[in-house]
C-alpha cells in the first residue's frame, strides 16, 4: 500500500508533468507567432498573417490551461509541503513573485495581441507579441531559478536549525540557476519547434491543398527548433558538470556509476540498487572520468559512497537520463542533417527541405521526442535529488503534510488532469488542426487546383 509521502510525491509529479508541457509551449509558441508576424510585416504575404493568427489562437488555448494547472501547483506547494514553504517561502519568494509579474504581463499583452489586430498599428501589434514572447520566457526562467535553489541552496544561514540572514537575491541567482535556465529554455524551443514542425511536415508529406501555409509554418518551426536542438547537448554538458560538483550522488545515479573509482560511460542496462551491479549495460571504461576531469583514471564518487537511505531511486533516475540523452541525440543529429541539407540547397544542390519526403517523415517521427526528453529530464532533476527536497538541508519526508488521506486527493487530481488533457486536445483539433490541415487521400484525384510543389502557388482554374 502506498504511504502518504508516496501519494504526495506522486500527486506533485503528475501535476508537474502535466503543467510543464504548457509552460514549455508558453515559451516556444509566442516566439513562433512573433516570427510569423515579423515576416508578414516584411513581405505582406497573407499566408504568414494567417499563420500568425492561428498560432496566436493555439497559444491562447494552451496559456489558459497552463494558468489553471499552474494555479493548482501553487496550492499544492502549500497543502502538500507546508514545512517546506514555512522555511523556504521567504527565501525563494522573490523568483515566484517575479514569475507572477511576468505571468500577468504575458496575459495582458496576449489579450492585446489577440483582439487588437485592426485596432492598433501593425508595428505596435508586433511589439505586443514580442512582450508576450519575452515575458513567457522570463516566467519560465524565474520558476527554474526557484527549482535551482532546491538543488543548490544559497542566500541564507542555518543556525541551530533556524534559517537566518536571508538574502533573496543570492538565493535567486544561486550557482545552479544559470545552467538550469539555459538548459530549460533551449529545451522549450527545441520541443515546441520539433512538435510544430512534425505537425506541418505530416501535412506536407501526405499532400495538402494548403501547401504554402504548411511550408511557411515548417520553415519557421525549424528556425527555432533546429538551432536549439544543436545547442542543447552543449548546455546539457554544462548542467552535468554543475551536478557533478554540487550533487555527485545524483550524477552517479544518472550515469549508473555504482562504485567509487574511475568512471565509465554506461549505455543502457538496468542497475541493481541492492547488489550495485548492472544488467545488460554497455560500458566505455574511463570515459566519464575523462569528460569530467580530463583523466581516464580520475576517481568519481559512486552510489556506494552513501548509505542506502541517502540514495535516490537508482533505476528510475538512470533510465530517465538515458531516455533524455537518446531523444536529445536524435534531435541534434536530425538538426545537423537539416542544416547540411539547407546548406546544400543554398549551393544549388538537392531539393528544399519542405520537398524532401524522407526528411519530412523523419520530422514526423521526431515530433514527440522533445517533450519526452523534457519529461525525462525533469524526472532526473526531481527524483535524482531524493531523499532531499532541499539538497543537504531538508528531507522530503520532513516537508510532507501530516494530513491523512492523500490518496483521495491524488485520485481527484488525476481525474482533473485527464479531463483537462481531453479538453485541450479537443480545442486544438477544433480550432487549429481541423481548419489548418485538409488532406488529400493518397491515390485520389482532386478536382480542386493543386499548389505547386515548389512555390506553393495555385494555378488559375480553367474556364
pLDDT at 109: 94
Chain-centre distance of CA 332, in angstroms? 15
- The residue-averaged pLDDT of 50-78 equals 84
pLDDT at 456: 43
For residue 243, tell me if it sits in a domain: yes
Cα atoms found within 13 Å of the Cα of residue 203, Cβ hemisphere only = 22
Q: Is 134 within 8 Å of 119 (Cβ atoms)?
A: no
The owner of cell 501547401 is 211
- Which among 104-118, 402-416, 431-445 has the top mean pLDDT? 104-118
Cell numbers found for residue 19: 503543467
User: Tens digit of pLDDT for each residue in 170-217?
Assistant: 999 999 999 999 999 999 999 999 999 998 888 888 876 678 888 889
pLDDT at 346: 75
Instruction: Tell me the average pLDDT of the chain.
Output: 84
The domain containing residue 214 runs over which residues? 13-248+314-436
For residue 277, tell me if it sits in a domain: no
217 vs 211: CA distance, rounded Å: 10
- The residue-averaged pLDDT of 264-277 equals 84
Res 453 pLDDT > 70:
no
pLDDT at 1: 52
Confidence of residue 350 (pLDDT cuts 50, 70, 90): low
pLDDT at 127: 95
Strands, E assignment, 200-357:
261-262, 265-272, 277-284, 299-300
For residue 28, tell me if it sits in a domain: yes
Confidence of residue 454 (pLDDT cuts 50, 70, 90): very low
Q: Is 440 within 8 Å of 209 (Cβ atoms)?
A: yes
202 vs 200: CA distance, rounded Å: 5
- The residue-averaged pLDDT of 367-391 equals 92
For residue 78, tell me if it sits in a domain: yes
Nearest residue to 368 via CA among 195, 185, 225: 195
β-sheet bridge partners, residue 390: 394
Between 437 and 88, the more confident residue is 88
Coil, helix or strand for 448?
coil
Instruction: Say which range, 213-227, 244-258, 419-433, has the weakest mean pLDDT.
Output: 419-433
pLDDT at 133: 93
Res 323 pLDDT > 50:
yes
What percentage of the chain carries pLDDT values higher than 90? 37
Instruction: Say which range, 220-224, 394-398, 429-433, 436-440, has the weakest mean pLDDT.
Output: 436-440
182 vs 254: CA distance, rounded Å: 20
Q: How many domains does the chain have?
A: 1
pLDDT at 71: 82
For residue 185, tell me if it sits in a domain: yes
- The residue-averaged pLDDT of 419-439 equals 64
Res 250 pLDDT > 70:
yes
Residues 6+ apart with CB under 8 A from 211: 204, 451, 452, 453, 456
Confidence of residue 38 (pLDDT cuts 50, 70, 90): very high
pLDDT at 164: 82
- The residue-averaged pLDDT of 7-23 equals 86
Res 458 pLDDT > 50:
no
User: Tens digit of pLDDT for each residue in 137-162?
Assistant: 999 999 999 999 999 999 888 787 77
Res 104 pLDDT > 70:
yes
Confidence of residue 257 (pLDDT cuts 50, 70, 90): confident
What percentage of the chain carries pLDDT values higher than 70? 91
- The residue-averaged pLDDT of 355-367 equals 88
pLDDT at 414: 80
Confidence of residue 411 (pLDDT cuts 50, 70, 90): confident
For residue 97, tell me if it sits in a domain: yes
Between 346 and 236, the more confident residue is 236
Confidence of residue 363 (pLDDT cuts 50, 70, 90): very high
Amino acid at each position: 500500500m502506498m504511504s502518504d509521502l508516496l501519494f504526495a510525491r506522486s500527486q506533485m509529479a503528475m501535476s508537474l508533468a502535466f503543467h510543464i508541457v504548457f509552460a514549455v509551449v508558453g515559451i516556444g509558441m509566442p516566439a513562433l507567432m512573433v516570427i510569423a508576424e515579423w515576416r508578414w510585416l516584411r513581405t505582406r504575404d497573407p499566408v504568414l498573417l494567417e499563420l500568425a493568427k492561428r498560432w496566436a489562437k493555439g497559444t491562447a488555448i494552451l496559456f489558459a490551461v497552463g494558468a489553471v494547472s499552474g494555479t493548482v501547483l501553487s496550492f499544492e506547494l502549500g497543502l502538500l509541503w507546508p514545512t517546506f514553504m514555512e522555511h523556504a517561502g521567504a527565501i525563494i519568494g522573490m523568483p515566484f513573485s517575479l514569475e507572477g509579474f511576468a505571468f500577468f504581463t504575458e496575459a495582458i499583452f496576449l489579450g492585446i495581441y489577440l483582439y487588437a489586430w485592426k485596432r492598433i498599428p501593425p508595428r505596435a501589434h508586433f511589439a505586443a507579441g514580442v512582450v508576450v514572447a519575452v515575458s513567457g520566457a522570463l516566467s519560465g526562467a524565474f520558476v527554474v531559478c526557484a527549482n535551482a535553489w532546491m538543488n543548490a541552496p544559497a542566500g541564507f544561514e542555518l543556525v541551530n536549525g533556524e534559517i537566518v540572514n536571508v538574502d533573496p537575491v543570492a538565493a535567486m541567482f544561486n550557482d545552479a540557476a544559470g545552467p538550469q535556465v539555459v538548459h530549460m529554455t533551449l529545451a522549450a524551443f527545441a520541443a515546441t519547434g520539433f512538435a510544430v514542425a512534425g505537425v506541418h511536415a505530416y501535412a506536407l508529406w501526405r499532400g495538402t491543398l494548403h501547401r504554402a501555409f504548411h511550408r511557411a509554418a515548417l520553415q519557421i518551426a525549424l528556425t527555432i527548433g533546429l538551432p536549439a536542438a544543436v545547442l542543447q547537448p552543449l548546455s546539457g554538458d554544462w548542467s552535468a558538470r554543475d551536478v557533478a560538483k554540487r550533487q555527485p550522488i545524483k550524477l552517479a545515479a544518472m550515469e549508473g556509476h555504482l562504485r567509487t573509482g574511475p568512471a565509465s560511460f554506461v549505455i543502457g542496462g538496468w542497475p541493481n540498487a541492492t547488489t550495485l551491479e548492472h544488467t545488460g549495460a554497455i560500458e566505455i571504461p574511463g570515459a566519464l572520468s575523462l569528460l569530467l576531469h580530463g583523466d581516464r583514471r580520475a576517481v568519481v564518487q559512486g552510489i556506494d559512497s552513501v548509505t542506502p537511505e541517502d540514495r535516490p531511486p537508482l533505476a528510475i533516475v538512470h533510465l530517465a537520463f538515458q531516455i533524455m540523452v537518446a531523444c536529445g541525440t536524435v534531435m541534434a543529429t536530425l538538426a545537423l542533417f537539416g542544416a547540411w541539407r539547407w546548406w546544400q540547397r543554398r549551393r544549388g544542390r538537392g531539393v528544399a527541405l519542405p520537398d524532401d519526403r524522407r526528411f519530412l517523415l523523419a520530422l514526423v517521427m521526431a515530433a514527440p521526442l522533445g517533450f519526452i526528453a523534457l519529461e525525462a529530464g525533469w524526472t532526473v532533476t526531481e527524483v535524482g535529488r531524493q531523499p532531499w527536497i532541499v539538497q543537504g538541508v531538508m528531507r522530503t519526508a520532513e516537508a510532507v503534510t501530516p494530513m491523512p488521506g492523500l490518496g483521495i486527493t491524488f485520485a481527484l487530481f488525476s481525474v482533473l488532469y485527464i479531463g483537462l488533457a481531453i479538453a485541450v486536445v479537443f480545442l486544438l483539433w477544433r480550432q487549429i488542426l481541423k481548419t489548418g490541415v485538409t488532406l488529400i487521400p493518397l491515390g485520389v484525384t482532386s478536382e480542386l487546383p493543386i499548389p505547386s510543389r515548389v512555390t506553393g502557388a495555385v494555378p488559375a482554374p480553367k474556364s
